[in-house]
Each structure stands twice: as structure tokens, then as C-alpha cells.
Amino acid sequence: MTPPKPTLDDLRISRGPNPEVPKRILPAVLAAGALVLIVAVVWWSLRPRAVAVQTAAVREVARAGGDRTVLNASGYVTARREATVSSKITGKVVEVLVEEGLKVTEGQVLARLDDTNVNASLLLARAQLESARTALTETRVRLREAEQELQRQTDLTKGQVATKADFDHAEAAALAYRARLEQQQADIDVASRTVEIWQQQRDDTVIRSPFNGIVTSKNAQPGEMISPMSSGGFTRTGICTVVDMGSLEIEIDVNESYINRVEPGQAVEGTLDAYPEWKIPCHVTAIIPTADREKSTVRVRVGFDKLDPRILPEMSVKVGFRGTEEAGSAGGRVVLVPQAALRRQDGRDIVFVVRDGRAERRAVSVAATNAGESEIGSGLAGGERVVVAGPAELADGTAVKEVNP
């Protein structure tokens, strides 16, 4: 049987119902959404947060005329006359007669060294001197006898009684005794010098104070060895340290950028850290004419107008160099910030200025400090706000939030 011929209806595409979405796609979509949510939460929790700080406005005021502090610095009380007293010889200490805090006068005995060997040598030298003097006395007697014999031989020779040989013999004997006398006189001089040397050696075993002062440290005890130079081991190089309390002064290293504000004779106000309420009148005594290239400083010596027993060597002291400026002079306006705004980093004074919600590190130069405020020479302008209280780790660019009370 012949099959039927294909028609156009046979070419139509049969369209069934839409295929269903596989059920495995839905969990993947939910997982992606959860991941995005987790990332958002992590970012929100780890985002930089503003640090709470307290701020204050920078003030710009007119400078008042009259006496004012032109430079602040710090230093230490030092003594112009201070000596570690030692001996001129090496020896064993047998007696120390001083203690810390004792006042001593020039020439006062501070300690004694063992002088046993020196005394023995001194006695020997004195015995040698006495022996030389005795020999000299004998030679003088022999010389007088030889001169008498020479005179007799001379008279006999003139009378042609004695021979020329006898005369020559007498003359030679007299000359020999004269030469021996001169030699023994020189020997006496040598023996006398030897006695003086050993006498000085004995005197050197007694250690005395070089000037009036106060003993600040005791460095040796009886039984220890002492030497004028360091020889290692347990040998001491000094008995004690004596300080002339009348030579106390303040030694300051001034930054060479500000040395133009200091001059000899300038009035200075000192404040000891031990007595912060005590203002001590001082004055500049000298500016050492050289700079320290490593520290970029110039050493300045400041003397006290009047010494006080409370002032002790090596005390820490703050000083303010005073100056006079007329009101209305050039540069008659000053920039003031609270002293709490100043920080110290890398050896420089800095402040943090709040700008557009962030902390900006700013290096400044401090001209003076008084009554809790610091005068800024450069680095700030009036009206800016600076951080006066905040975390110690505050850094440049940190987001900040002002929470002033």
C-alpha cells in the first residue's frame, strides 16, 4: 500500500507548555544575596570611625608693651668650681676624714695614705745627708793640715833646706783635699735634694682640699688603693668630690634658631622643678661662642643674682629670657594656643588642627609660654581650631569629632 504524501500541515512545530525552572537555581540566588549582605555588614563595622576630641580656637591678640618672656628653655644647675680630689701618687688609703655634706676649707686634710715606705726612704736620705756632712768636716780638717804642711815646705824650700820633691808632694796633697772638699759639698747638696724629694713624697700622702666647698660624694674607703690615673681593677682615682657652692650657675643649650633672642647681661627668670612657685632672678653671664653641630644648639651660662641654700648642683631648672618690647611695634600681634594643645614628636613641637573633620598635623615654633598659654611664632593662624584633648595615638589624617563640653 502506498503511504500518503506529506502535506504542509506536517511541517508545523508542535509547541508544548513552558519548561519549568530547575529548582537548583533558587539556593544559589539566596547564597549570593547573603554574601552581599555579609560584606556590607563587615564594611560597616570596619569603616574608620571619627575619634572624639576636644578643641580650642587659636587666639590672635595684640602684643602688650613692656617686659615679657622672649624665650623659654630648660637646663641644669652646675658648678664652675668642682673637683674630684685625688692624690699625686699611688698608695693605699689608711684614713678618710670626710663625709658627704661636710663643709671643707682650702688646705683641710681630707684623707691620708700609707706612708711607711716613704718614711723609711726619708730616714735613709737624712742619714746619707748626715754622713756627707761628717765626711765634709773631716775633709776640712785634712785640708787645713795639708795647707799647713804646704806652708812649711814652702818656707823650707826658700831656705834651700827641703827638696823640690817634698814641696811638690805637699802642694799635691793640699790640692787633692781642696778638690775632695768641693766634691763633698756637692754630695751634700745632692743629699739635701734627696731629703726634700722624700719629704715631698711624704707630704703627698696627705690629701688636702684645693678650695672652700662642700663634699658631695665620697669615693674611697680605708684599705683601698688610689692612683692619680685609672689603672683598672679596684684602684680608685679620687677620694671625694668637692663643689664650690659659691660658683653655682645654670647651663642651658639654646637652639641656634633662637640665639638671637639672648644677649649678655639679659634678665632671666629661673624656676627650679623642686620649687615651681619660686621665681629666681638671674642674668646671662656668657654666651659660649661656638655651636654644637650635632644638636644645633649654643651653650649659654646664666648666673644667679643671689645664691640660696636650696639651690643644689645638677638640679633641673626652667628659665625664661626676659625682653622689652614697645606696644604697637612691628609684629605687635601674637598667636596664642592652650599649652595642652602642644605635643612633642620627632624632636619638634606640633599641634593637630581640625580641618574638614580630620586632624591635620602642623609643626609650630613656640616663642614663649605663660599662664597656661603658649605663644606661637609660626605655623598657626588666628581662628583655627586645635586639639587640646584626644588620644595619644592621634595621627595626621585621622577622622575626628569635636565633643567640646
Distances in whole angstroms, Cα of residue 302 to Cα of each of 83, 286, 305:
21, 7, 10
Q: Residue type for 356, please? A: D
Neighbours of 382 (CB within 10 A): 13
Complete edge-to-edge strand list for the sheet that includes strand 225-226: 206-208, 109-113, 91-96, 225-226
pLDDT reported for residue 330:
43
Q: With 90 as the cut, is the pLDDT of residue 220 above it? A: no
Residue 327: per-residue pLDDT: 44
Report the pLDDT averaged over residues 128-147.
Answer: 84
What is the CATH code for 69-80+246-325?
A: 2.40.30.170
Q: Which CATH architecture has domain 84-113+205-243?
A: Beta Barrel (2.40)
Predicted local distance difference test score (pLDDT) of residue 47:
54
What average pLDDT does this structure show over 305-322?
91
Q: What is the pLDDT of residues 102-116, one digit of tens each?
A: 999 999 999 999 988
| Range 51-63+330-402 classified under CATH 2.40.420.20 | yes
Tell me the per-residue pLDDT of 327-362, one tens digit each, with 9 for 90 and over.
444 445 778 888 888 888 877 888 899 888 888 888
> pTM of whole model > 0.75?
no
Q: What is the pLDDT of residues 2-18, one digit of tens each?
A: 555 555 555 555 555 55
The confidence score (pLDDT) of residue 300 equals 94
Please provide the DSSP assignment of 199-242 as one string.
HHHHHTTEEE-SSSEEEEEE---TT-EE-SS--STT-BS-SEEE
What is the residue-averaged pLDDT of the chain?
A: 82
Q: CA-to-CA distance for 106 and 253, rounded, in angstroms?
A: 33
Residues 6 or more apart from 206 whose CB is under 8 A from it?
Answer: 109, 111, 112, 113
Interacting residues of 110 by C-beta distance below 8 A, sequence separation 6+: 85, 96, 97, 98, 104, 207, 208, 209, 215, 239, 240
pLDDT for the residue numbered 289: 92
Residue 165 has pLDDT above 50, yes or no: yes
Which of 5-14, 65-74, 87-96, 206-215 shows the lowest mean pLDDT across its residues? 5-14
What was the pLDDT predicted at 1? 46
